[in-house]
Amino acid sequence: MPKKIRLGIIGGGGDSLIGVLHRVASFINDNYEIVGAVFNPDYEQNLAFAKEIDVPTDRIYKDFDTLVEEELKLPEDERIQVCSVLTPNFLHFPMAKKLLENGFHVICEKPMTMNYEEAKTLQEVYERSGRVFALTHTYTGYPMVRQMREMIKDGALGKIHKVDARYYQGWINTVIHDKEKRSTVWRLDPKKAGISSCIGDIGVHASNLIEYTTGLKIKSVLCDFNYLYDDNQMDVDGTVLIRMDKHVKGVVRASQVATGEENGLAIAIYGEKGAFRWEQEKPNFLYKMSDTEPLQVYKPGHAYNSELSLKASKIPAGHPEGIFDSMANIYLGAARAIRGEAYNDGEFPTMKDGVRGMNFIESTVASHKQGNVWVNLD
Amino acid sequence: MPKKIRLGIIGGGGDSLIGVLHRVASFINDNYEIVGAVFNPDYEQNLAFAKEIDVPTDRIYKDFDTLVEEELKLPEDERIQVCSVLTPNFLHFPMAKKLLENGFHVICEKPMTMNYEEAKTLQEVYERSGRVFALTHTYTGYPMVRQMREMIKDGALGKIHKVDARYYQGWINTVIHDKEKRSTVWRLDPKKAGISSCIGDIGVHASNLIEYTTGLKIKSVLCDFNYLYDDNQMDVDGTVLIRMDKHVKGVVRASQVATGEENGLAIAIYGEKGAFRWEQEKPNFLYKMSDTEPLQVYKPGHAYNSELSLKASKIPAGHPEGIFDSMANIYLGAARAIRGEAYNDGEFPTMKDGVRGMNFIESTVASHKQGNVWVNLD
Amino acid sequence: MPKKIRLGIIGGGGDSLIGVLHRVASFINDNYEIVGAVFNPDYEQNLAFAKEIDVPTDRIYKDFDTLVEEELKLPEDERIQVCSVLTPNFLHFPMAKKLLENGFHVICEKPMTMNYEEAKTLQEVYERSGRVFALTHTYTGYPMVRQMREMIKDGALGKIHKVDARYYQGWINTVIHDKEKRSTVWRLDPKKAGISSCIGDIGVHASNLIEYTTGLKIKSVLCDFNYLYDDNQMDVDGTVLIRMDKHVKGVVRASQVATGEENGLAIAIYGEKGAFRWEQEKPNFLYKMSDTEPLQVYKPGHAYNSELSLKASKIPAGHPEGIFDSMANIYLGAARAIRGEAYNDGEFPTMKDGVRGMNFIESTVASHKQGNVWVNLD
Amino acid sequence: MPKKIRLGIIGGGGDSLIGVLHRVASFINDNYEIVGAVFNPDYEQNLAFAKEIDVPTDRIYKDFDTLVEEELKLPEDERIQVCSVLTPNFLHFPMAKKLLENGFHVICEKPMTMNYEEAKTLQEVYERSGRVFALTHTYTGYPMVRQMREMIKDGALGKIHKVDARYYQGWINTVIHDKEKRSTVWRLDPKKAGISSCIGDIGVHASNLIEYTTGLKIKSVLCDFNYLYDDNQMDVDGTVLIRMDKHVKGVVRASQVATGEENGLAIAIYGEKGAFRWEQEKPNFLYKMSDTEPLQVYKPGHAYNSELSLKASKIPAGHPEGIFDSMANIYLGAARAIRGEAYNDGEFPTMKDGVRGMNFIESTVASHKQGNVWVNLD
């Protein structure tokens, strides 16, 4: 008998975009109820936001540590079961770690940690904990991404020969071209934002999507970053040559200075028998290509789709679902895991995706810094 | 101070598609809480569904009349404020009427009533009631539809000369081509489904969208239906020549036998200075055309959009929102009205849209039955 | 042994757009040589143009009658074999008639005649003549239009249920909205341009394409024109309800005031087993739809295409061919007929297409003038 | 007074695809007449083809050397003025060289030579000759490519920050995956096809298009090839990191094993003020992007286009022109140069494009062979 899972939220208050995305995603499939939170480091704002969205204020805590402490005092069947960690990047690691160590399940925004070392540490904690850990690589929740994965697994492309992924945005232009702004914004400050801006923030979505859909692992990378200005310390654009298992080669392209691009994530997977193309901004169209047959366009909700894909759409074909629905599918997968139900490996990204991601990011940075040489991932 | 609005749901239980659409839409902007319901005419199933989605069962009623009766016994600040009516078509009118008469606000699925006469009656009840009535013409909730409306209002197209709307689906093919099925399915039984299948169910969305975006009224129609088989009593396809205010002519095309079409609603509005095209299946792309300038593609979330459009998207450009988000915008507008806040005329469809719609449907049926002649709307 | 066909050109001199289209089309498949012409009614300009495009001037005649007279004096194996008639509309009929009566083959621009009566007269002359008559309904030359025709003939759609064709342009806006211009331009003068502007010029392409691809005939029409201004005598927009053989219903929409539309010809054919959509502005993409399978996109040059389609493209898939190539395919078909080779019915439009077209145009005008009533075609 | 230019053709007989492309392109603007040829190394087939396409056989020569010898005996005003060299790759250099040395203008297929050394030699011959040399980088003939070039030159993008070009095809799959075929086909034999398959054949189009549109030069490359099989000696896929003038970085991606891709050439140019995207398979759509304004779609034939673009389209907007028309624009530019008329730098690709191309190809091969290191171009 399903019963709503008790959800705690850390961060995501006020006008936070990530806040509304997670909150809505948690609601969509009737699986979660927000029972406690630290929406904001400022306690007054925290309470005010709770009232604004009509969450009872009795379990709105003054800070993260208090939340953990107080919740642990509650009986297990009242206690928060899972926390969504939506705080600034550098807090993901310590918070996720403490939550797992204290028996909470965790849904964590990306990047999972600030570096690969932390990621491996967190992985150890996770493995000992027996808890569920979901990393919100949101784009793996789209029905057509899942369809691609399942069809590749079923051999629709035959042996894969080439992959090509792109994640182009233009939003950082207003910052990077302004000397004052680029030297002060936290996004371009390695101490605050981590070792990479462009690959760390978006390139890693592309690499994750490649591994998610093909089931192959990236083995080594050769990367060239673009900083645009000499006084800028963070990559705002990068191209990564990749080599994967089974002699597959490919490229990951990421940019935050691709003027006019909004959220241009796209992948193409080419195999011996066919190929796939998919674009995030038109998420409900999956293109299957062949050298000999007409191109086919798969769409969600049709009986020809795989079960994993069908479970990721709620209403009939032709009614577009979007990114909130995609994130909701990840929350749905996590809910099944939290309840101890059987679930498919592709239903939500996990700790291993987070560890792979940090390994990828650090390797690209190393490759660039060492003069665009090949660097192996673990 | 916002406080969640107490929502009752009538219908929409089990696997109901309309149920999940409304439920999610009510959650999305943190405005509503489901406090009471009659999800299902079978009381056991009703209770079971409430448990499944974890709604407290103490205000799950055995039927609609009991819901009204029992809720009225509750103090006003605990009582359901608004009911979503998601029942079969013929129940919309009596339920909405009784709800309004008893002081409840109403969110009602379409068609609002079974005929124009009922619609006018309901309008009178509504006007006396002082309550909010929202009709869920879902497609008016899309940010780009709202952008179109605002730009037209601001004169972007100059005088309008021509409109063209299409709503093509293919889903009824599996029913209509089967002699047995087409004579037994309730969808094609005028006693159960009303006087029109194709225009009543989908054509009216197209006519509504034309009036919503242009601000003009349809004055007369000339319609040719297609029944496909002699033993079929309901239109499954129809083309409607229309004449609007200010000498605007146009066409509304609707079909349920347009094989392979999913939910193909699209409109084009041509004016002296420019034109718009928009398609429901790619809802985040609005095409603005000109005889002399490059075509422009508007997308949600950009600062160049109108306020009405911007309020209808939650996150930055390039992150696709879909039909759940569109419906959520209608719930958002209704929430503002229910709370007594000021709201824009375009924030949700109202009683007048419902009355217009029934007037349109009846007029097309009359036109066809009288031999494809012009019939005036009121 | 192929040997270039001796081609005469009437009209199409100077900057004539139709001139360059026909001239290039005649060259493309190495089938024609221009040996004589009256490019221009002004003899000096006629000669100058011949020199400009390097056609020998010895058979550049001062007028059409002289061309016929002088060519008839030449031995048959030197004489012009076929004339392309590219003159103003009202001259098509008398010139085509005289050419056929004197033993010349004819390639004729559309509209074939000024009215249906002339069309029937020309048909009689043609039938007696034993000559080839090709009407340049250019759009039937596209490989994907031909593919659609062949697949429909082979039953890919099953029984057809509905057709929808559109031809929207915006070019007349600059004329129609100017009181001075609209009363003086020949295009809107019924004495010079014929009984219909919009349907006569472009609507008839849409009706032709429907009959070409489906093999069905339009039996009756109900039409509503739009003149926009009371002082304008010619339709600049029209919507035509149609009924075809075998109980097929549909709609033909045409407009010259569809602001921002360039050359927006598009058709959709819906059948029991599948459907097709095609748009002239993206001519190399043919969409095949199904209720149960992924949408398929056919493109020219692939082995999966029919022979009629494959013969209409010259180079491998992915190298776009356009409207010159489409017209060239009609010239190619005509060349095969002129040489007495066997040819497929779909290789070029003929006299019967011209007669059908005039019948369609007159019927729509009659329908509108009689108050939007059904008018039967022959 | 224009007078048709006397054209000789070397190669391109029979079913040659490149043959029909050049022949049609030469006809399209009424500028050229084929007066002599060696269509085929087999003299009988050569003559037969000339008869088939109705070229007089008196100047059909038994081989290239005879053509040169015999034509030189003719008076200058009868002699072939320009030769199109359409022979296998390894013959381009010796033929073009001999033609230039003997006073003929040359239109040459690509690759211009087998290596960079030959290219530089040819350049010296060319510079001494005073003749016109046009290299048929066909894609620079498209109106929208030319529009991009002109708008970039006029500053529409501001400072350029990033370029991304792709040329993906799948045609070699049927060869490469077959052990027998891949070891015998001339395409994958370095002695016959040159040092590179994928970059040499198609990658160089992408690099040329980048330099053509931006006016910037590629300064260095780092390349990773994919051979797919150990026994294959030629690249069938490659990704090239590039660095250009003015600190612009970018990537060129080329593949012949991108299953299902037809002729997928596409470029994107990102600058401070805006960006362009263009795809060869939809050549009449040019996308101009901005961070703050709606995306704009430029199309050929509109008054808003530059003169260079407008001269490259023949008929009004909305009538698609294709690759034959694009190649015809290059022939048109060459005709203007041959006649000694003033012409714009962008009207046809020249010797310098050929030299740059060979420099690019050799540098990518060197980069790959040296272990994916940066290699500078001259």
> How far apart (Å, rounded) are the C-alpha atoms in residues B40 and B46?
5
Q: Which of the four pLDDT bands, split at 50, 70 and 90, describes residue D194?
A: confident
Mean pLDDT of A276-286: 98
- Percent of chain B surpassing pLDDT 90: 93
Nearest to A282 among B53, B169, B282 (CB): B282
Find residues 320-349 of chain A whose CB sits inside 8 Å of chain B.
320-325
Single-letter amino acid, residue B53: I
Mean pLDDT of C228-250: 96
Report helix, strand or coil for B313.
Answer: coil
Q: Inform me whether the C-beta atom of residue D130 falls under 8 Å from chain C C-beta atoms.
A: no
pLDDT tens digits, D134-176: 999 999 999 999 999 999 999 999 999 999 999 999 999 999 9
Phi-psi region at D153: left, alpha or beta (left = phi > 0; alpha = psi -120 to 50): alpha
> How far apart (Å, rounded) are the C-alpha atoms in residues B113 and B90?
7
Measured CA angle at B351 (ends B347, B357), to 5 deg: 100
Q: Inform me whether the C-beta atom of residue D206 falls under 8 Å from chain A C-beta atoms.
A: no
> How far apart (Å, rounded) are the C-alpha atoms in residues A42 and A59?
15
Q: Which CATH code for domain B142-315+348-376? A: 3.30.360.10
The answer to whether residues D145 and D184 touch, using CB atoms and an 8 Å cutoff, is: no
Q: B98: which 2 tokens?
A: 């009784």
Verify whether the Cβ–Cβ distance A288 to C294 is below 8 Å. yes
The answer to whether residues A280 and A138 touch, using CB atoms and an 8 Å cutoff, is: no
Model pLDDT, residue D122: 98
Average per-residue pLDDT for chain D: 96
pLDDT tens digits, C5-61: 999 999 999 988 999 999 999 999 999 999 999 999 999 999 999 999 989 999 999
Verify whether the Cβ–Cβ distance A318 to B283 is below 8 Å. no
Residues shown for chain D: 378
pLDDT tens digits, D56-113: 999 999 999 999 999 999 999 999 999 999 999 999 999 999 999 999 999 999 999 9
For D229-246, letters b (16+ CB in 10 Å) and e give eeebbbbbbbbbbbbbee
Q: Which of the four pLDDT bands, split at 50, 70 and 90, describes residue D2?
A: low
Q: C248: which 2 tokens?
A: 């097929």
Mean pLDDT of B157-179: 97
Q: D252: which 2 tokens?
A: 């060129």
The answer to whether residues B205 and B278 touch, using CB atoms and an 8 Å cutoff, is: no
pLDDT tens digits, D28-57: 999 999 999 999 999 999 999 999 998 999
Average per-residue pLDDT for chain C: 96
Q: Where are the domains of chain C?
A: 5-139, 142-316+348-376
Model pLDDT, residue C59: 97
Measured CA angle at A235 (ends A234, A238), to 5 deg: 170
pLDDT tens digits, C72-88: 999 999 999 999 999 99
Which residue out of B284, B291, B293 would a mutagenesis test of the D interface target, given it has the greatest number of D Cβ atoms within 10 Å?
Answer: B293
Return the H-helix or E-strand segment holding A73. helix A64-73
Q: What is the CATH superfamily name and number for domain D5-139? A: NAD(P)-binding Rossmann-like Domain (3.40.50.720)
Model pLDDT, residue B254: 98
Q: Inform me whether the C-beta atom of residue A315 falls under 8 Å from chain C C-beta atoms.
A: no
Q: Which CATH code for domain C142-316+348-376? A: 3.30.360.10
Verify whether the Cβ–Cβ distance D257 to A161 is below 8 Å. yes
Model pLDDT, residue D192: 82
Nearest to D316 among C17, C264, C318 (CB): C17
Identical topology for domains A5-139 and A142-315+349-376: no
pLDDT tens digits, B287-300: 999 999 999 999 99
| Closest CA of chain B from D295, distance in Å | 5
Alpha helices (runs of H) in chain D, residue ranges in sequence order: 17-28, 43-52, 64-73, 89-101, 116-129, 143-153, 173-176, 179-184, 190-193, 198, 204-214, 307-310, 323-338, 351-369
Report helix, strand or coil for A153.
Answer: helix
Chain D partners of A271 at a C-beta cutoff of 8 Å? 259
Asked if pLDDT for residue B2 goes beyond 70, the answer is: no
Q: Which CATH code for domain A142-315+349-376? A: 3.30.360.10
Report helix, strand or coil for C157.
Answer: coil
Dihedral (CA of C58, C60, C61, C66) sign = positive
Chain A partners of D241 at a C-beta cutoff of 8 Å? 224, 239, 241, 372
Instruction: Give the E-state strand segments of A227-367 in sequence order.
Output: 237-244, 249-255, 264-271, 275-279, 286-289, 295-298
Asked if pLDDT for residue B249 goes beyond 60, the answer is: yes
Asked if pLDDT for residue A1 goes beyond 60, the answer is: no
Q: Which residue has the tokens 């699925």?
A: B109
Chain B partners of C261 at a C-beta cutoff of 8 Å? 270, 275, 289
| Closest CA of chain D from A338, distance in Å | 41
Find residues 163-182 of chain A whose CB sits inside 8 Å of chain D.
164, 170-171, 173-174, 177
Chain D partners of B294 at a C-beta cutoff of 8 Å? 288, 296-299, 302, 304
Asked if pLDDT for residue B321 goes beyond 50, the answer is: yes
Sequence-separated (6 or more) residues with CB below 8 Å from residue D18: D11, D12, D86, D109
Q: Which of the four pLDDT bands, split at 50, 70 and 90, describes residue C1?
A: very low
* Whole-Å CA distances, A206 to A167, B13, C40, D222: 6, 39, 62, 22
pLDDT tens digits, B34-50: 999 999 999 999 999 99
| Closest CA of chain C from A96, distance in Å | 42
Verify whether the Cβ–Cβ distance B315 to A20 is below 8 Å. yes
- Percent of chain C surpassing pLDDT 90: 93
Mean pLDDT of C357-377: 98
| Closest CA of chain D from A173, distance in Å | 8
> How far apart (Å, rounded) are the C-alpha atoms in residues D340 and D1?
12
Average per-residue pLDDT for chain A: 96
pLDDT tens digits, C97-135: 999 999 999 999 999 999 999 999 999 999 999 999 999
Model pLDDT, residue C2: 58
Q: What is the CATH superfamily name and number for domain D142-315+347-376? A: Dihydrodipicolinate Reductase; domain 2 (3.30.360.10)
**Radius of gyration in angstroms for the set of CA atoms belonging to chain A, rounded to a whole number:** 21
How many residue pairs from chains B and D have C-beta atoms closer than 8 A? Answer: 34
Q: Inform me whether the C-beta atom of residue C65 falls under 8 Å from chain D C-beta atoms.
A: no
Least confident of A59-73, A239-253, C191-205: C191-205
The answer to whether residues A314 and A300 touch, using CB atoms and an 8 Å cutoff, is: no
